Amino acid sequence: MANLNTSETIMKKGKKSTKQLDVELARGVEEFSKDLIEFSVPKALAKRLGSPLYVGVNGVTVGIDVDGEKYKIPKAHADRIMEIISNLN
């Protein structure tokens, strides 16, 4: 069963320390690192997207150079970049 956060449950749990947040971030990075794929963004899109292009998914940010070269990035981030590119029209 999934945990459901509401305003009430968040207030009951209290604030997390910086150390606890760092541990959660490290777990997120580790999970994303398990599913890496090769991905490239065409150099022609550099002016429209900026280079490097920074994309965040669930608090984990990846920067990728927009230069046509292939880089290994998490699949979730590659999917998000494809959404961004498809909406450039």
The model's pLDDT over 3-22, given as tens digits with 9 standing for 90+, comes to: 676 777 767 766 778 888 88
CA distances from 13 to 21, 26, 34, 58, 68 (A): 14, 21, 30, 20, 46
pLDDT at site 13: 63
Is residue 1 very low, low, confident or very high in pLDDT (cuts 50, 70, 90)? low
Question: By residue range, what is the domain housing residue 85?
Answer: 36-89
In a domain, 84, yes or no: yes
Q: Could you tell me the pTM of the whole model?
A: 0.66
Our count of domains for the chain comes to 1
For 39-88, the pLDDT digits (tens) are 999 999 999 998 899 999 877 888 999 999 999 998 989 999 999 999 98
Q: Is residue 22 part of a domain?
A: no
In a domain, 14, yes or no: no
50 belongs to a structural domain:
yes
Residue 41 located in a structural domain = yes
Mean pLDDT of 31-42: 87
Residue 11 lies in a domain: no
Residues in the chain: 89
In a domain, 59, yes or no: yes
